[in-house]
Structure formats: C-alpha cells, structure tokens
C-alpha cells in the first residue's frame, strides 16, 4: 500500500507528521500516547511542538453537545 501511495504522490512521512501534529493539538499527551501506542515522552514532545494542552482539550470537551 505504501508503494501505491508513493506512486500517487502521497508523502507518507509528511502525512504521518501532519496527522500527529493535528492530534497533538486536540488531545492531552496521555490520551495521545495511549490511543496511538506511542511512548508518553514522544506524545509530550508532539504536544509541545503543536502547543496543545490539557486546558484546551478540557475546554473543547465541555463545549461538545451530547447526542444521546
């Protein structure tokens, strides 16, 4: 699959980094690490690079509407 994506012009490393960066802005490091199965120190580095934080996550969660 990776080879097929490369042939289509998708840069896998860049796509992965972009996805991790976006998730790091939306989730606390502990949730990011647990969800993706990465080390907590790596999750913290991604979160710091993305300038995300637990406060931003908590604020966003409180703004969600319950759908049930």
String of DSSP letters for the chain: -HHHHHHTT--HHHHHHHHHHHHHHHS-HHHHHHHHT--HHHHHHHHHHHT--HHHHHHHHHHPPP--
What does pTM read for this prediction?
0.60
Q: Per-residue pLDDT for 12 more than 60?
A: yes
Q: Residue 58's pLDDT is what?
A: 64
- Give the residue with greater pLDDT, 44 vs 65: 44
């Amino acid at each position: 699959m990776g080879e097929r994506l490369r042939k289509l012009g998708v840069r896998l490393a860049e796509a992965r980094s972009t996805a991790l960066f976006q998730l790091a802005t939306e989730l606390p490091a502990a949730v990011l690490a647990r969800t993706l199965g990465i080390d907590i120190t790596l999750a913290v580095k991604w979160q710091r690079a993305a300038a995300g934080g637990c406060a931003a996550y908590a604020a966003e969660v409180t703004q969600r509407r319950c759908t049930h």
